[in-house]
Amino acid sequence: MTESMNESLAITPDSEICQILTCLPEKFVVDFANGIDVARERQRFMAKRDGFFARLYDGFTGQGDRNQAEINASLTDGVEGALSWLKDLSESLAKSNHAIVQVNARVNALKHDVATLVDFSIESRQAIDMLSQRLDERCDELDRNVARIDRLQQAHLHLDDVFGKWGAGRFNMFTLSGRCYVALEELRWGAFGDYCQTVSGRERQKQLERLANRAIIQMNKDAGISQGERIATRDRWLARPAGGVVAADGEDAIRYLGDWADPHSTPFAFAASQTPEELPLHLPRIIGAPRVTEAMISELFLEAS
């Protein structure tokens, strides 16, 4: 063995190998590994005995042959050890290969499972997207309903508020038809009017009927007439309140509010707001509260819009 080989194989007490010396080594491993040192030592010894007398002596005593036989035996043991080791390694390699096959099989199975999971994931995502879309639609619908209900609520509150003021006598400074006109104008420009703008058909009709009902009740009450009773337009519906203080500002305000009214297309609104000297031709001269109210509602909420 060369010096460099000795150095490369040097074992020190710090070597990791020293940590496993407490377990019994296998015989064939000892014979295999230690046999190398035994054979080398004998070879080295024989190599030095190359002098004439040494060779003569070794040949005569038989020590040369014995040494060679020992070297041969060590080498044979080494080959046997190598065979044993090779057999073990082959078996171990076979196990490893078998394990690799199993691992490959598992990997393939995993791939199939992953593909199944991917399919499942895609289907799930599609279902979730669909659900999300439905939920959005449902939420939008709910939002719209909530907004509509809110507007309806505001409209009803507005309606209650206006008729509360009317019932409390806040409009008593106006003529009977002027009271109705003022109430309707206030409703038209407030939450009630907005609500009626956003709805159509039956709902709008329904709200206007509700408005008409309450206005007819209040007009009958203010005029002191019974249901179905008709009174003179000029003398009663357009008459200034008797005994009360007529507010000039109120009349001006009504006139200003109704400056859009036309005696031909909106005669009731025109008469109520402008109180002309000459009544429009289409305006009945004797009329009941329902006719005044419904006609004015129609002019303000249907025709004006």
Partner 1 sequence: MSAPMKVGLVLSGGGAKGAYQVGVLRALRELGTRIDAVSGASIGALNGGILASSPSLDIAIERLESLWGRLADESPLSMKAPGYLALLAATGLRLQGAGALLGLVYAAKKVAGAFEYELPSWLDGLDDGLLDDQPLKQLMDEFLDSKQLATGMPLYVSLYRSNGGLRDLASAFMAELGLGDTPDSEFMHIQSLKEDQRKQVLLASAAIPLLFASRKHGEKRYSDGGQGGWQTMQGNTPITPLLEAGCNLVIVTHLSDGSPWSRQRFPDATILEIRPQQSLNRATGLMSGAQDLLGFDVDKIPTWIEQGYRDTLHCVGRVMEAQKSRNDLRASEAALAGMGAESARADRVLAEAMARLTKKS
Binding of partner 1 by 23 (CB under 8 A) = yes
Of positions 106, 134, 138, 221, contacts partner 1 by CB under 8 A: 106
Within 10 Å of residue 145's Cβ, how many Cβ atoms? 10
Of positions 79, 86, 99, 147, contacts partner 1 by CB under 8 A: 99
CA atoms within 13 A on the CB side of 183: 33
State how far the Cα of 195 lies from the Cα of 201, in Å rounded to an integer.
Answer: 13
Of positions 2, 4, 8, 19, contacts partner 1 by CB under 8 A: 19
Classify burial at 226, counting beta carbons within 10 Å of its beta carbon; exposed 0-12, middle 13-18, buried 19 or more: exposed
Binding of partner 1 by 242 (CB under 8 A) = no
Of positions 60, 226, 243, 249, contacts partner 1 by CB under 8 A: 60
Binding of partner 1 by 5 (CB under 8 A) = no
CB 182 within 8 A of CB 171: yes
- Smallest distance, Å, CB 22 to partner 1? 6
Binding of partner 1 by 21 (CB under 8 A) = yes
Of positions 4, 15, 200, 226, contacts partner 1 by CB under 8 A: 15
- 178 Cβ contact partners less than 8 Å away, ≥ 6 residues apart: 171, 238, 251, 254, 272, 273, 275
The pairing of beta strand 230-232 with beta strand 286-288: antiparallel
Helix axes of 27-48 and 63-167: crossing angle, nearest 10 degrees = 140
State how far the Cα of 150 lies from the Cα of 144, in Å rounded to an integer.
Answer: 10
Binding of partner 1 by 86 (CB under 8 A) = no
H or E element, residue 232: strand 230-232
Of positions 55, 95, 111, 134, contacts partner 1 by CB under 8 A: 95
Binding of partner 1 by 248 (CB under 8 A) = no
Decide whether 26 or 143 has the Cβ nearer to partner 1. 26
Decide whether 24 or 168 has the Cβ nearer to partner 1. 24
Q: Residue 290's Cα: distance from chain center in Å?
A: 54
Of positions 2, 4, 8, 10, contacts partner 1 by CB under 8 A: 10
Binding of partner 1 by 63 (CB under 8 A) = yes
Query: How many residues form the binding site for partner 1 (CB under 8 A)?
Result: 60
- Smallest distance, Å, CB 161 to partner 1? 58
- The DSSP result for 127-188, as a single string, is HHHHHHHHHHHHHHHHHHHHHHHHHHHHHHHHHHHHHHHHHTTTTTTS-HHHHHHHHHHHHH
Binding of partner 1 by 129 (CB under 8 A) = no
State how far the Cα of 280 lies from the Cα of 271, in Å rounded to an integer.
Answer: 7
| Contact footprint for partner 1 (CB under 8 A) | 1, 6, 9-13, 15-27, 29-34, 36-38, 41-42, 44-46, 48, 60-63, 66-67, 70, 73, 85, 88-89, 92, 95-96, 99, 102-103, 106, 109-110, 113, 116-117, 120, 123
